[in-house]
Amino acid sequence: MATAFARNQWYVAAYGSEVSRTFLARTILGEPIVFYRTAGDARVVALADRCVHRRYPLSESSLDGDNVVCGYHGFTYDTSGTCVFVPGQQRIPRTARVASYPVAEVDSFVWVWIGEAELADESLIPRAPHMAAPEFVTVSGMEPIDCDYGLLVDNLLDLSHETYLHAGFIGTPEVARTPITTEADEQAGIVRVARHMMDAECPPFYAKSTGIGGRITRLQDIEYFAPCLYLLHSRISPVGEQAPVFRTEITYAITPSAPGKVYDFWAVSRDFATGDAEVTEFLRDFNHQVVMQDVVALNILQKALDTEPEGYQELSIGIDAGGLAARRILADLAAR
């Protein structure tokens, strides 16, 4: 029942701020990759994280300038993955190279291309411009989850769970109660889910960050660019007034690490109270708690599925329209 991996796609591997002159090891779609920056132009390098000699992880190695020196026997690679030194002899075998991966830094993320390098087209990277835009302030983090990445896609495309799993944080009765509209562009690989609550309770997340006291108009517009990028455009305003509207952009990158393992990148960007450090810290802490509720639940859910007999049946209803569309798109991308 594991969701298949879609190759020949861009995936978020890290925040740009995570990649430095110290190695960062991440496994993406089952491929171990080591990331670092060059000394001069601070370009991100992504190499296969296995020495060609005895398969030792290069992330356990050291840098000599921009070259990677394997920590076991000293095989040395340049930024293209070409071996430039081996111990005990002058001749370097022609086949001594490790794969290098196309990377691009876009909207504060480091994206990596998994698949055939010659197909890597940066214009295919879906955008989250608020992540780096000056009029927004963003808090963010990343949590690894021990679950099929499809469970996280399900989770994010069906926000009715906010009412139950995130009660007291971002959920109120109206979220589960309000019908959704779903739009899937299966050709483009995009799913849109809208839930517009015209008169709803204001959950603590928004009450404390916006200062709104009473009931609100709450618009949730999801855009999921399969397989990796998820945007939740959130608009909050006091009921009955024309203004102000508080914009919050909630961004997730869903990066499959290995079967049963996923990286859950999360960010909250706002265009209000941008100079208020207290609001920033509140949103960082509060949203981290919300994310951890999902992490705990998805770890539990995966364990439950792992111990079930084969062939159990799910039951899907209206709220699942977005998630089911996403599954079809992912299956199609994986099959290509």
For residue 166, give the DSSP letter: T
Residue of the chain from 165, 207, 219, 239 that contacts a copy of itself (CB under 8 A): 165
Asked if 26 interacts with a copy of itself (CB under 8 A), we say no
x/- contact string, 72-91, with a copy of itself (CB under 8 A)?
xxx-----------xxxx--
Binding region for a copy of itself (CB under 8 A) out of 109-117, 162-170, 201-209, 246-254: 162-170
Residue of the chain from 243, 277, 317, 335 that contacts a copy of itself (CB under 8 A): 317
Distances (CA, A) of 297 to 51, 147, 284, 301: 37, 10, 20, 6
Looking at beta carbons only, is 170 or 297 nearer to a copy of itself?
A: 297
Residue of the chain from 107, 148, 154, 249 that contacts a copy of itself (CB under 8 A): 154
Asked if 160 interacts with a copy of itself (CB under 8 A), we say yes
Asked if 311 interacts with a copy of itself (CB under 8 A), we say no
Distances (CA, A) of 46 to 7, 62, 119, 177: 17, 15, 17, 46
Helices and strands (H, E) in the chain, number of each type? 6, 17
Distances (CA, A) of 17 to 32, 102, 240: 20, 18, 42
Q: CA–CA separation, 299 vs 306, rounded Å?
A: 11
Supply 273's token pair: 């109270």
Binding region for a copy of itself (CB under 8 A) out of 100-108, 114-122, 203-211, 304-312: 304-312
Longest Cα–Cα distance of the chain, Å, equals: 79
From 98, 99, 79, select the one nearest 37 (Cα to Cα): 79
Q: CA–CA separation, 166 vs 34, rounded Å?
A: 35
In the range 202-241, which residues lie near a copy of itself by CB under 8 A? Answer: none
Smallest distance from the beta carbon of 107 to a copy of itself, in angstroms? Answer: 31
Distances (CA, A) of 168 to 212, 221, 235, 290: 16, 21, 19, 10
Asked if 243 interacts with a copy of itself (CB under 8 A), we say no
Looking at beta carbons only, is 100 or 160 nearer to a copy of itself?
A: 160
Residue of the chain from 69, 142, 273, 334 that contacts a copy of itself (CB under 8 A): 69
Looking at beta carbons only, is 29 or 137 nearer to a copy of itself?
A: 29
Binding stretches for a copy of itself (CB under 8 A) = 27, 30, 32, 50, 52-57, 60, 69-74, 86-89, 93, 95-96, 154, 158, 160-161, 163-165, 176-180, 258, 297, 300-301, 304-305, 307-309, 312-319
